[in-house]
Amino acid sequence: MGMPIITPGTGTRSQVITDIIESVALEQTALSHILNAEGEKIQAIVSAATTRDEMLAVNSSVKSMVNSIAILEMVLQSKLEMFSDCLCIPTPCTPITNTAITASDAKAIVTKNSMTDYTINLTQTTGAGTLTVTTTPTGLPVSVNGTLPTGLTLSGNMLSYANWAAFQGSTVKLNVGTGACVQVITINFVSEVD
């Protein structure tokens, strides 16, 4: 088990509390490994049938380690008790008030059916271009909900394509935003020929 990498950040209160609880869990795991090693030490001495004085010395050593672990357990318990009455309110998100899709090619006719539903008429069968998703507020993350059809790639808030024909008749779902305020945008691609 490797040591976790802890980097300073500007996390939310909920995230900081989660990090502290995770650190207690990691410490508990380490202590369980120590206790297990102490148990194996006792088993090795007993099975070797050594002298009574050696057994008493091992017993004293194990007793000292168990007492030290008991003290650490009280410290860990006090860490957890700091948050026993904690009401962690989720970080509020900014609701999305508008979305828009713009096409780089004038032959791609974008129809906004609602804030989360679009139809894009493809008036050519070949050609490359992009579709850009913008939101209000700006800068919200855009991710794929499900899988993208062959021929479409998403980078940031931009869908790119090399050939219209590859995804004609497809439906794409995109997640916009994060947390409780995420919205799913549905894009229906309709094929039309000039």
Residues 33-48 pLDDT 10s:
988 888 888 888 888 8
Task: State the residue range of the domain holding 138.
Answer: 98-191
For the ranges 4-13, 17-26, 172-181, the lowest mean pLDDT is seen at 4-13
Note whether residue 53 is domain-resident. Answer: yes
Confidence at 100, pLDDT banded by 50, 70, 90? very high
DSSP E strands in the chain: the ranges are: 98-103, 108-114, 117-122, 129-136, 142-144, 152-155, 158-161, 171-176, 183-191
Note whether residue 4 is domain-resident. Answer: no
Note whether residue 172 is domain-resident. Answer: yes
Last residue of a domain, one of 81, 113, 131: 81
SS3 21: helix
Residues 116 and 166 in one domain: yes
What are φ and ψ of residue 177, in 5° steps? Answer: 95, -170
Q: Is the pLDDT of residue 151 over 80?
A: yes
Residues 170 and 130 in one domain: yes
Number of domains observed in the structure of the chain:
2
